[in-house]
Structure 1
Amino acid sequence: MARRSTMLSRRGLLTGAAAIGGTAALSGGLSACGAASATDPDQIQFWTLLSGGDGGTMADMIAKATGSGAAYDVKTTTLVWGEPYYTKLAMAATGGRPPELAIMHASRVPGYVPGGLLDSWDVSRLEELGVSQDDFPEDVWRKGMVGENVYAVALDAHPTVMMFNPEICDKAGVLDSDGKLRATESPEEFVDLVSQVGGVTKGSPPLSYGYLGDGSQMFRLFYTFYTQHGAAMTFPQGGRAEIDDDIAVASLQLMQRLLDGKLALQRNDYAAALAEFATGRSGMLFTGVWELRSVKEAGVPFDMTTIPTLFGTPATYADSHAFVLPHQSEVDEHRRDLTYQFVADLLKGSYDWATAGHIPAYLPVTESPDYAKLMPQSNYAQAVQQVNYDPAAWFTGSGSNFHAGFGNAVQPALMTGKDAAGAVDAFRTRINGLLKTQNPVDPDGTWTS
């Protein structure tokens, strides 16, 4: 990998950091959340975007890691999810007050490595602590790499999955002898299965899927179907988007077919779809693994599985929460050693993270007998071996405007059930426009990998 010989000016980096992080304004100074206090050499500053149940689970994991005679202390700062978080993380890395460690979606790494916003991980130091490349699914590990260097170490994979109500599905006769959904291997077989469930839900559509105003929801399901064709999208900087039109149209048309008002409501948002399923009005739900806790708390009977392979290739859309090292202009080697130890301890203790619904990326956890007994998590654990992330580009990833742009392009087609080809054309046009725009933290385009 060749890296530019000169870094951007601080002013240029700050401008670019705000651009790749989003348009959110920053309030207050960065120093309030900056590097660890010089008076406590054993303290690690750790930034996360994890809130709600995820935040509570992470707090428990940190308490367990630090409460057993650990050599380090951890000060956690939780910031607002999405653009505000990524803006502030980028600004901290350019402003000289970064934390020792941060959580980042793996899909955002390609936009942050240019310009030196992240430091790379020393794989040999991880190996000394019992964490190696072989301990992760290949695609999950590789997603944290740019060129030959590792910039993100995944904590998990959090894929789009399907929940189902076993009581409703049993009445519909669509469960096998093991109490799992009957296998379907084509769109026609899946539509038939959903229709059978509809014979039980009657007054309410059998499948819940909310997408209105939510580009992420639209892209997650679309890209699951697209990659199940054995295809991928490529967005070469300065070039043109490489998208298979026939596959993209077929994927979008299946979504339209499901959103016919009978199988699933044609116009439904995320919260309403989740409420339908959580109150027992529907028998199936397309959602993310992160909703496991909320559905469990609702008290409705449910199980979970991967989205059926309907186009030949097992594949699902996913992202990963990953550990990154925000760039330190002067590395404190003692704190960095402690940071490596802290990350290794969290990975080894990530069975607890599975209680939040996410699939731990550390294979010794997911391949353990204890995890095999964890229900329904172990029922969709295989999804970690078939993940597909956003196409790599500086403008893609969770919390970016990429998903919103996709939603703007395809939502009219989903609402009307018409012109899937036109929606794909509109999406392509948006991406080609972005590909003509240089990464704001790499305006000279001198980074190669």
Structure 2
Amino acid sequence: MSSRSPVPEAVGPAGPARGLSRRSLMRNTAAAAGTLIAAGPLSGCASPASASDDASALSVWDLFQGGDGMLMDEMITAVSGGAQGFDIDRTILDWGPSYYTKLAMSAAGGRASDVAVLHLSRLAGYAPGGLLDPIDLDLLAEFGVTPRHFTAAVWARTQHDNTVYAIPLDVHPFIVFYDKKVAAKAGLLDPSGKLAPMGSPKALLDAGKALAEVTGKSGILFGHITDTAQNWRQFAAFYAQTGASFTLPDGGPARIDIDAAVRVVTFMQQLFDGRTNPNNLDYNGAMAGFLDGRGGMAMLGEWELPTLKKSGISLGAAPFPQVFDKPAVYTDSHSFVLPHQENPDPARRREAHRYIAEILKQSLTWASAGHIPAYQPVLAEPEYASLDPQSSYADAAKVAVLDPPNWFAGAGSNFQNLMCQPLQAALLGNMSAEKAVRQMVREANTLLQQPNPVA
């Protein structure tokens, strides 16, 4: 994930890769200057016929900024050299609601790029409305990429009505980072020096107390105040571990196991009781506390790895702890899609599939930022096994859990925000676990009564 919240952020210092066109550079600069706004004209949405000074360039939209943007530049550079190299016209847009507005408008208006990036959790809002074109799996297989190269948990979310519309680039899970030295003193490491399995709610509660005893401050840090996603990520992970399902059928009502959900929220209240593990931190406060040694563990997205590695902490990481009956880790996935075009050129479509395949094969580079490559052959490479701590949480992709599929859910959505608000009240002691769950259900049912605006 390139951001912590659905609020669009400024474009980072991601310069154009070699092989990108001059026009791409100009448009990236325009995006950095903030000229692309959600409700504004689609001046930056060039049609395939005019995507660059060279009409043969493959137009690609993504939302990768800052360090992620520079890594994507590096990957594009790697596939742009030689006789078979690509000429890529890359457009970087602000991540968040504005990105998804532009993506929908470009596809509906016949001005779509050849390839775009989509969070897999947002697929249900785009494929049913005809805003995406299907992936040609036979064509993709010609370039060495097939369904068997992805974990079943992630691949299952690439489809709508048994048709594949997305090819995952990565899995970016909600995990735990920990200070190895603190965890060792707290007795939480296994003989190999990795975080030992928890296995029960009590074990995680005890781990928080043990970590706090070592630090003299706090045990497990979690920033959630005024955050539009964090509480949902934690709840969704724990809830999936109970084995219960949370589905959002069109028209409603939401289907959720109330007892299981109350059990999870009650445990979250016990874990973050305001004593051993603080209950009143915002995102930046939790990060700062962990960086300053005021906590031995932090629950964060793996995308924070580059920042944490610079801190000098003896850093370890692990999949989100399993404390209930079933292993499950809340995740999302940056995926490649083909925005709808009325009359796509077969040669360009072929190149789009080849581009997707070749970028996937470069995803060892992508893993350096913490993301788990979705393309499994990369995980088998010795170079990936040597990445520390990335390789320690790679198994999270096997038990990935995404948002319930519906048009209004997914990364950067108001659904996540509405789920977070009662959860925040529960953690702060302002609402009972049962009332929080009942409010979550009411909010979900209200959303389910609204029609998909792009269907």
TM-score normalised by L of structure 1: 0.90
Residues 196 and 336 of structure 1: is their aligned pair in 2 closer, same or farther, counting only changes over 3 Å?
A: same
How big is the shift at 1:408? 2.0
How big is the shift at 1:215? 2.8
Q: Which residue of 1 is the match for residue 10 of structure 2?
A: none
Q: Distance in 1 between matches of 2:315 and 2:44?
A: 46
Q: Distance in 2 between matches of 1:363 and 1:109?
A: 21
Q: Distance in 2 between matches of 1:300 and 1:424?
A: 37
How big is the shift at 1:25? 3.7
Query: Secondary structure in 2 aligned to 1:437?
Result: coil
Matched, 1:340 2:326: no
Q: Which consecutive unaligned segments of at least 5 residues does structure 2 have?
A: 1-36
How big is the shift at 1:64? 0.8
Q: Which residue of 2 is the match for residue 166 of structure 1?
A: 180
Which of 49, 73, 82 does residue 59 from structure 1 map onto? Answer: 73
Contact 2:273–2:427, Cα closer than 8 Å, also in 1:
no
Query: Secondary structure in 2 aligned to 1:325?
Result: strand
Query: Secondary structure in 2 aligned to 1:305?
Result: strand
Question: Cα RMSD between the aligned structures?
Answer: 1.5
Equivalent runs, 1:19-58 vs 2, <5 Å: 25-30=38-43, 32-37=45-50, 40-58=54-72
Residue type matched to 2:349 in 1? Answer: R
Q: Deviations over 1:36-56 (max 9, x none)?
A: 537634311111111111111
Which of 122, 125, 147 does residue 133 from structure 1 map onto? Answer: 147
Query: Secondary structure in 1 aligned to 2:255?
Result: coil
Q: Distance in 2 between matches of 1:308 and 1:394?
A: 29
Query: Secondary structure in 1 aligned to 2:117?
Result: strand
Query: Secondary structure in 1 aligned to 2:177?
Result: strand
Contact 2:79–2:85, Cα closer than 8 Å, also in 1:
no
**Comparing 364-373 with 148-157, which one deviates more in the overlay?**
364-373
Residue type matched to 1:48 in 2? Answer: D
How big is the shift at 1:441? 1.8
Q: Distance in 2 between matches of 1:240 and 1:335?
A: 43
Q: Which residue of 2 is the match for residue 358 of structure 1?
A: 371
Residues 71 and 57 of structure 1: is their aligned pair in 2 closer, same or farther, counting only changes over 3 Å?
A: closer
Equivalent runs, 1:79-228 vs 2, <5 Å: 79-202=93-216, 204-228=217-241
Q: Distance in 2 between matches of 1:157 and 1:308?
A: 17
Contact 1:47–1:99, Cα closer than 8 Å, also in 2:
yes
Q: Distance in 2 between matches of 1:32 and 1:432?
A: 35
TM-score normalised by L of structure 2: 0.89
Q: Distance in 2 between matches of 1:162 and 1:331?
A: 44
How big is the shift at 1:426? 0.5
Q: Distance in 2 between matches of 1:145 and 1:379?
A: 29
Contact 1:184–1:310, Cα closer than 8 Å, also in 2:
yes
Q: Distance in 1 between matches of 2:91 and 2:415?
A: 27
Residues 417 and 64 of structure 1: is their aligned pair in 2 closer, same or farther, counting only changes over 3 Å?
A: same
Q: Distance in 1 between matches of 2:65 and 2:335?
A: 15
Which of 381, 399, 417 does residue 404 from structure 1 map onto? Answer: 417
How big is the shift at 1:72? 2.3
Q: Distance in 2 between matches of 1:31 and 1:297?
A: 35
Query: Secondary structure in 2 aligned to 1:70?
Result: coil
How big is the shift at 1:373? 1.8
Q: Which residue of 1 is the match for residue 33 of structure 2?
A: none
**Comparing 407-416 with 285-294, which one deviates more in the overlay?**
407-416
How big is the shift at 1:71? 4.1
Q: Which residue of 1 is the match for residue 92 of structure 2?
A: 78
Contact 2:38–2:97, Cα closer than 8 Å, also in 1:
no
Q: Distance in 2 between matches of 1:27 and 1:234?
A: 34
Query: Secondary structure in 2 aligned to 1:416?
Result: coil
With CA pairs under 8 Å and 6+ residues apart, which has the higher RCO, 1 or 2? 1
**Comparing 371-380 with 79-88, which one deviates more in the overlay?**
371-380
Q: Deviations over 1:239-280 (max 9, x none)?
A: 211000111011111111121122221111111101111222
Residues 145 and 410 of structure 1: is their aligned pair in 2 closer, same or farther, counting only changes over 3 Å?
A: same
Contact 1:279–1:300, Cα closer than 8 Å, also in 2:
no
How big is the shift at 1:438? 1.6
